[in-house]
Structure 1
């Protein structure tokens, strides 16, 4: 009898993810229209689907551009930790920081000299806002960011002081520009020695070369003894591109831009239609067995 043909991007029969890597904003959380922020609420259908994956033995790993202190509250909302489970692995700051929780313990961090790249961007956007994480507190910022865009406190600091030493991630934000402006500028500048990601708005994340959610997730998979083909990753933003390409199955949210959708193996429903639940229901049903 001929073997069943598996469509491109589809796992083989009997496959079920051992790691489920989830972006936060625009994937687990819905965007607030026009606010540059998300509702800090987990939809019940998403919560239930994530817990079916946990109950089936999968490791759920949050992977976000957020700093560590902006991610622990989401782990709490999802109730990913507890006396019956191991401490979580979390990929923060677009892969530059990997930590365990609870309590928050940084186990890996990549840093770089961001000053040259920041200066190059500010030559073209002199009024742009600059921020770096002040761990456990919030961010050091050159000026206040729009409400809801950063978690924690904002500590006003001169730009040269912000980038005076090694950092794991720098945010540059220009509320008067567009995402397309930043895509074009970053491509034109090259930003040698630095990797970058442009967000939904004129928001630029600078990171050490070679660092992404994929590199952070690869470290976690190695520590957990999980092979790359057994990783499912779900995301919606440009900072998810490397992770979606790296994972054994990379899934884009339905509202993602074309660049992200094209990088993925599959596209699920949008965040407004519980896309995470739709994808997880394929592999974990209400009894904890594979749905296929």
Structure 2
């Protein structure tokens, strides 16, 4: 980065970055600290574009945008479903969506984890699921159906969750199976997101940046999970949260404070 560089695009993950994890669960508190909110608004006041990029569905992201108070009379960009969906808000409008055939990959995973739960987003409503997910892990209404019905047509993302397994189990499973025809990312719990090949937060952000007239060289991104790896590599300055796993910290240009210590505010204060 050149001397005097300052980000024109600020990209923020949500869970574990803007929102604190609830200890011992795969859920986050739907609260943003005053320090983080003020820091984000300072960046906007300085003319930076602020974009949220998450593994969440679009409707799971809009309320966080509301919590931050980001919309000031203009429509914002968001990257949802780990890059498979790019949207504007408010009102919520899908601008781009990438879909794929997930049926083979899902069957491969279920062959080794037959009791795992499967979910596919039902936009604007909630999720179609094969069984009840742990409370608070999915937003919106849940409609129980069969695996065949869930993956019988192209989808933008599939969630596979096995409460009886560990994240390490799923990491090893993904490496072992290869999961041809899909990309995948494992979360903090035994949670696997399946997505189209080549789709990530970085690919979604590239579309947004092009529309905004900025590039990766103008961008700062902050995240904490495996689904942030491509994003942190893509931007000029990728920053890992203090509690991020070693795999994420290793690709980052720097490490900020933890989410409990308002790491986003600490990093943004360097620039705004």
How high is the TM-score relative to the length of structure 1?
0.92
Question: What is the correspondence of 1:170-181 to structure 2 with a 5 Å cutoff?
Answer: 170-181=158-169
1:51 to 41, 56, 64: 41
2:23 to 33, 50, 57: 33
Within the alignment, does 1:139 sit opposite 2:127 as a pair? yes
2:9 to 13, 19, 23: 19
Count of residue pairs brought into register by the alignment: 272
1:35–1:148 contact (8 Å) kept in structure 2: no
Moved over 2 A (4+): none
The CA RMSD over aligned residues, in Å, is 0.6
Within the alignment, does 1:88 sit opposite 2:71 as a pair? no
- Provide Cα deviations, 1:173-200, integer angstroms capped at 9, x if missing partner: 0000000000000000000110000001
**How far 1:12 sits from its partner (Å)?**
2.9
What are the ranges of 5 or more consecutive residues in structure 2 without an aligned counterpart? none
The aligned counterpart of 2:220 is 232
The aligned counterpart of 2:85 is 97
**How far 1:228 sits from its partner (Å)?**
1.2
The aligned counterpart of 2:62 is 72
Larger radius of gyration: 1
Question: What is the correspondence of 1:96-115 to structure 2 with a 5 Å cutoff?
Answer: 96-115=84-103
Distance across 2 between alignment mates of 1:82 and 1:16: 22
Within the alignment, does 1:273 sit opposite 2:230 as a pair? no
Distance across 2 between alignment mates of 1:93 and 1:224: 21
**How far 1:13 sits from its partner (Å)?**
1.8
Within the alignment, does 1:223 sit opposite 2:211 as a pair? yes
Distance across 2 between alignment mates of 1:145 and 1:13: 49
The aligned counterpart of 1:169 is 157
The aligned counterpart of 2:140 is 152
